[in-house]
Structure 1
Amino acid sequence: MLRTHTCGALRKSDVGSPVTLCGWVDSKRDHGGAVFIDLRDRYGLTQVVIGPPEAGESLIKQAGHVPNESVILIRGVVADRLEGKTNAKLETGEIEVRSEHFEILSASETPPFTPGQSDLPGEDLRLKYRFLDLRRKEMQQALIRRSEIIKCMRDYFAEHDFIDVETPILGRSTPEGARDYLVPSRVHPSNFYALPQSPQLYKQILMVAGFDRYIQVAKCFRDEDLRADRQPEFTQLDLEMSFVDSEDIIGLIDGLVAKTAKQVLGKDISLPLPRMTYANAMRRFGSDAPDLRFGLEIVDVTSVAAKTDFRVFRGTA
């Protein structure tokens, strides 16, 4: 390993220890005789000082010219920050690393934007430079949270005797709710594979084969227009059970939501979760997936409209 610690690991108890850190130059301050660099990785920030007596003049000069977002390696000793210079906002805010060795692993060109800037550019530019956008703390936290949720789901279903089966991606086109993506075959000219809209057929085969509890975090594909809640490629939690009724399925998902909320968010959720019939949802909201955060329910005003002289209402009544 090139590094001995991550940029979020060092604490006051590490003072005096030799360390090697690798990361990205988040910011840099040249104070004349010394250069201060905030070194960043996905674990946090560590302040690095390149200055006398640990670093010579050539090393200080080199550090002063390193561009932001460059990847560097430093070796040095952990030290207390000067009195009054601690940063309570950082977990590493009580220490700094006095660098004895400085090495540029990958020098950066001037980036179109930096992860820490407050006035971020539009989404088009951020998607073009996706690797820069993914360095932002918000983006990294979203991916970390997603990973935690998936692990929690898999652990939960393993506790309930489910097996995780990876079903094929290339298969035969089957009638489903949307258009298939078709992939031409090189070894079978004029023939095509279809990418799965869901693992429906494969999981039913597993049920017939005797695997009574199946789970998969499945990649699915649908060749259709973008919508607010749908995109061509997406991931879904897919499961199938044998010898159960609807209450068993609903109760299982209730437990999953409660476990995920507790483990990932630290929140307790009372069970069972609120339920609503399809008929009730359509009557009250006109949708089978109502957003209950808004109280915009459908109200029957037939009795009121029947008493008005407005011709449109009178005709309807």
Structure 2
Amino acid sequence: MDLDTVRTFVAAADAGQFQEAAAELAVTQQAVSKRIAALERTLGVRLFTRTPRGAELTIDGQAFLPHARELLRVAERAVASVGTGRRPLRVDVIASRGAATGLMRGFHRAHPDIDLDVVMLFDIETAVAALRSGTIDASFRAVAAPGRPLPGEIESVRVLDEPLQLLTGPGHALAGARSVPLARLAGHRIWMPGIVPGTEWAAYYDDLIAEFGLTIEATGPNFGSDALLDTVADTPALATFMGEHTSLVWPAGLGLRRIPVTDPTPVYPHSLLWHRDNPHPALALLRDHLATATAGHDAAGTWRPGWVLPR
């Protein structure tokens, strides 16, 4: 149904005359008549009866009028929902407990007036496709894995180099250490069932293993972080890596230890991705916030894969 004809019908019903409706809509009286006639053909009923005083609604016109008003209200709400600055900024954070979620919470505290829609997409291909289609406005990723360059229209900027920590149970040989040199982890079993082949974090840990001779096991089903913590706490032979900004809470009885890794400190590079033609005004605010709220990159004494994009 043509909304222009519906809008013309409402204007004529309110004015009671086609001539006044034409003046309100800034069209000719003939155009009003043609639109009303087209709407009547669509509906299969007469909407107006011509009288010496102007145009009066028929019974069918009276029945249609409240619905016509609602159609116009719905159309106005639909337009407003995607108007500049009106639609929520939709950002992919991959997982609820990771560093990206913390960054977005900080942005929300700094800009509580901006509506946010946080989503979690698993792999980078899905995230890039969503950016290209406009389904999301931004995504946090580690880019770019070897052989997988970003499309030309996708922009990125490094926003956080997150140090990795070693997480152990109370019975682990390194549980009492205040920090652990990375080379000292060779020979220790590091269990990370969340590593999925083909993901950007799998590429990251593949390079870490190759450069420092580590043993990282991704065997067994991934039952989530709670099960991982329980297993590490109960198994002295196992440890795992965890980002410094990963938000986890565990019972005091588990006795888990988070130990800084040094010489060098492996850092996981978080970047923000967006489509270069995305006009959402809050996207620029998010980039500015991240530029001022996060630490510097490529600090001395840190390690990241060689394929990580520069700042």
When the two structures are superposed, what TM-score results if normalisation uses the length of structure 1? 0.20
When the two structures are superposed, what TM-score results if normalisation uses the length of structure 2? 0.20
Larger RCO (alpha carbons 8 Å, 6+ apart): 2
More helix by share: 2
